[in-house]
């Protein structure tokens, strides 16, 4: 009967697996592209970037409402929404029926990003119309990126589109919304976060560089992993020396330091 010790993956191989995986994860995290409120597009030789949740001089939470929600009332209908996050109510929470999929009666509005209340037969009835996990960003004007962006959020049967117009001086939500179709809502917001940061399209080279670095680091991690497994199982090297080119990796810091000192002496 084989021992339980023999059935376990060798510690060295496990370490090599973890090391290779961490290299690749670190590379992806370093070169990753941002969250649900990050958007970039190239137009006319320039790269336009929007970071809606990043703080600005006057708005530390970016486009997010500091109250935890935006509210628009039209006749007997009320629209609540938050951008880049779920809503939070420290005051004036929604009180309506059918709020089970957005927090329930006691926490209505706190588990979705957009909610609408309509008066039906004397009762306020809520409908979830959007969530941050199902949000998409596009340009308001495909020719003029500086005009702003549209954030569209979806639920199972409904949606909300918030047009965020670039305005460097004011943050103001519209006092009206439009119902398009049976359950698709549209409203507007003027905000500094709707203004793009632009740079020369040559800056795209950093994107290619980041992709190259990620690829190289992932390949390096795979090389260390596969090499360690091969040397352990097929060559019978059961010590730390199973890591391929171990002497090179150990001497690499000293080699770099020595070359740097040599260059300093030359110059």
Q: Looking at residue 199, what is its pLDDT?
A: 83
Residues 102 and 21 in one domain: no
E strands, the chain, are 38-43, 46-51, 70-74, 77-81, 114-120, 123-139, 148-154, 159-166, 172-173, 178-180, 184-191, 197-200
163-176 pLDDT per residue, tens: 999 999 999 999 99
Last residue of a domain, one of 173, 195, 217: 195
At 24-66, the pLDDT tens digits run 555 444 444 456 789 999 988 889 999 999 988 889 999 999 9
pLDDT at 3: 44
| 190, 60: one domain | yes
**Residue 222 in this model has a pLDDT that exceeds 90:** no
Phi, psi values for residue 195, rounded to 5°? -90, 130
| Residue 91: domain span | 52-195
Q: In 3-state terms, what secondary structure has residue 74?
A: strand
Q: What is the pLDDT of residue 5?
A: 41
Please report the pLDDT score of residue 18 as a whole number.
57
Which tens digits make up the pLDDT trace of 63-78? 999 999 999 999 999 9
Higher pLDDT, 263 or 178: 178
pTM: 0.65
158 and 73, same structural domain? yes
């Amino acid at each position: 009967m084989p021992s339980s010790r023999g059935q376990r993956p060798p510690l060295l191989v496990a370490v090599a697996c973890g090391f290779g995986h961490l290299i690749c994860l670190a590379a992806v995290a370093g070169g990753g592209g941002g969250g649900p409120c990050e958007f970039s597009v190239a137009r006319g030789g320039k790269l336009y970037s929007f970071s809606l949740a990043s703080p600005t001089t006057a708005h530390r939470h970016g486009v997010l409402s500091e109250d935890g929600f935006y509210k628009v009332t039209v006749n007997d209908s009320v629209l609540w929404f938050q951008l880049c996050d779920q809503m939070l109510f420290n005051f004036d929470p929604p009180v309506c029926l059918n709020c089970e999929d957005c927090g329930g009666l006691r926490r209505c509005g706190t588990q979705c990003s957009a909610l609408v209340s309509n008066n039906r037969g004397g009762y306020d009835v809520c409908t979830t119309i959007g969530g941050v996990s199902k949000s998409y960003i596009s340009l308001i004007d495909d020719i003029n990126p500086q005009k702003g962006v549209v954030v569209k959020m979806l639920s199972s049967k409904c949606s909300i589109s918030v047009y965020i117009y670039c305005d460097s001086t004011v943050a103001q939500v519209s006092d009206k919304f439009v119902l398009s179709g049976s359950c698709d809502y549209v409203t507007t917001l003027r905000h500094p976060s709707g203004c793009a940061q632009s740079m020369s399209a040559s800056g795209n080279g950093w994107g290619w560089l980041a992709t190259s670095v990620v690829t190289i680091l992932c390949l390096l991690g795979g090389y260390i992993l596969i090499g360690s497994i091969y040397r352990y199982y097929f060559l019978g090297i059961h010590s730390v020396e199973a890591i391929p080119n171990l002497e090179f990796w150990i001497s690499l810091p000293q080699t770099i330091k020595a070359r740097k000192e040599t260059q300093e002496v030359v110059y």
